[in-house]
Amino acid sequence: MTPRELDQLDRAIISQLQEDGRRPYRAIARSLGVAEGTVRFRATRLQEEGFLRILALADPYALGYAVQAAVLLRVTPAAHARVAETLSEWPEVMYVSSCAGSADLYMHIICRDHDDLWQLLSERLGSIEGVLGTETFMELRLHKARYVYPGLTDTILNGDS
């Protein structure tokens, strides 16, 4: 089944909710010149269809996590899916994706401290069969964290149809 195409109003609603997931439907409706019920119906449908998920982004450093890192993994082809599934179950792993290039998997992790990072990398990750090697990049300072996709409202803002 091919996913349906989003229209301009769907894209505008998503764009506004990406900026502030708690923005009232009434305010969104007012800014777009449509009825509040229309925005409520569309937002609910977008969530049900999997286009939109509203959540809170917490500051990991404020919550006591001192270490964030990106880990590139090389794995055997036969173990690829199993390794990705295993990593996806670990609470420290925030993101896992398959890659093309010098790495087979990418994961973003968050740890309480360097000891937790060491244990994860040397003991737990090392015990997964099929992992051939890793390369870890520690984040030293966060400069930007934005989860708003550009271009959603270009057609509306530019007056295109």
The predicted-structure confidence for 142-159, as pLDDT tens digits, reads as follows 888 777 777 776 544 444
- Quick: pLDDT tens for 11-54: 999 999 998 999 999 999 999 999 999 999 999 999 999 999 99
* CA distance to 66, 75, 90, 129, per residue, from 62 (Å): 9, 34, 21, 35
Every domain of the chain with CATH number 1.10.10.10 lies at 8-56
Crossing angle of helices 25-32 and 36-48, in 10° steps, is: 110
CATH level 3 topology of 67-139: Alpha-Beta Plaits (3.30.70)
Class of domain 8-56: mainly alpha
Contacts of 65 (CB under 8 A, 6+ apart): 110, 111, 112
pLDDT over 60 (residue 160) = no
Q: With cut-offs at 50, 70 and 90, classify the pLDDT of residue 141.
A: confident
**What pLDDT does 57 receive?**
83
Q: Give me the sign of the Cα torsion angle 134, 76, 97, 92.
A: negative
pLDDT tens digit sequence for 46-76: 999 999 999 888 888 899 999 999 999 999 9
